Amino acid sequence: MWIGYGEDAHRLEPGRKLMLGGVEIASDRGAAAHSDGDALLHAIADAVLSAVGAGDIGEVFPDTDPRWAGLAGEELLERVLELAGAHPLRCERPRCGRVRQVRAVVTLDRPKLAPHREAMRHRIAELCGLEPADVSVAFKTSEGLAPDHVQARALVVLEEA
């Protein structure tokens, strides 16, 4: 078993979509980003890369590369999962594994995310090939310390493929 940890943050701007865990959240502001700015899926993807010792998403999918311009969080996570060992026979690194558990925290002052918790858990579980019970997502405000940002942190447990 390997543990991985990842983080992501985006500035919030008016007129942008707010995507978290593959779920669109009704909000007057959203993430300023080249991609869909899904900080939660980005943090989970970084955690998966961290678990297998494969760098981070900025390195694997540089936003200077036109192939990755506007890459949606869901596709990015799917590509990372494949790279991490969804296909063990094609894995060239000493560590290849399948995600078994996801534990995440999103820090955002508003809007309230709790009404979207189950939708996020289901979508993340679906993407990772897990049951929703294997995915937890907690929410925190920054208590006004970072009112213009969304931040996500994620732990994953991978099991050897």
- Among 136, 141, 149, 157, which residue interacts with ligand C5P (rule: CB under 6 A)? 141
Rule CB under 6 A: is residue 108 a binding residue for ligand C5P?
A: yes
The only residue of 8, 36, 46, 74 in contact with Mg ion, by rule CB under 5 A: 8
Cα distance between the two ends of the chain: 10
Write out the binding residues for Mg ion, residues 42-71 only, by CB under 5 A. Answer: 42
Tokens 């006004």 sit on residue: 144
CA–CA dist 150, 37 (Å, integer):
10
Residue 113 touching ligand C5P (CB under 6 A) = yes
**Structure token digits, residue 121:** 């858990």
User: How many whole angstroms separate alpha carbon 55 and alpha carbon 44?
Assistant: 13
Nearest residue to ligand C5P by CB is 114
8 binds, among Mg ion, ligand C5P, none (CB under 5 to 8 A by kind): Mg ion
The DSSP code for 114 is G
Which residue ranges make up the site for ligand C5P (CB under 6 A)?
108, 112-114, 139-141
